[in-house]
């Protein structure tokens, strides 16, 4: 998919949007990659790359929520 933007909404979905799909003033459709639960209010999304024991890169996001525990999503 190339470079992506990770976004959340005031309700529950976590979506990814291809950077190449972004056009000034245009409607964009993202792909839902996680449902974070009813009543959830995401406050922050932190993306990072870590390395497993075999030194293979793994990309993840940590979603910090207002009412619920943080979600770690690969």
Tell me the pairing of strands 13-18 and 71-73: unpaired
Domain with 18, as residue range(s), is: 4-73
Token pair for 37: 């639960």
Alpha helices in 5-73 (DSSP H): none
User: How many domains does the structure of the chain reveal?
Assistant: 1
* Structure-model confidence comparison of residues 30 and 37, the more confident one: 30
Q: 43-64, pLDDT tens digit by residue?
A: 888 889 999 999 999 998 898 8
Q: 1-35, pLDDT tens digit by residue?
A: 578 888 887 767 888 899 998 989 889 888 988 88
pLDDT the model gives residue 42: 85
CA count, 13 A, side-chain hemisphere, 2: 6
């Amino acid at each position: 998919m190339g470079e992506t933007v990770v976004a959340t909404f005031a309700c529950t979905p976590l979506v990814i949007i291809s950077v190449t799909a972004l056009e000034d003033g245009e409607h964009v459709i993202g792909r839902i990659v996680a449902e974070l639960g009813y009543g959830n209010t995401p406050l922050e999304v932190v993306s990072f790359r870590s390395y497993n024991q075999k030194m293979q890169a793994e990309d993840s996001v940590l979603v910090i929520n207002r009412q619920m525990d943080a979600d770690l999503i690969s």
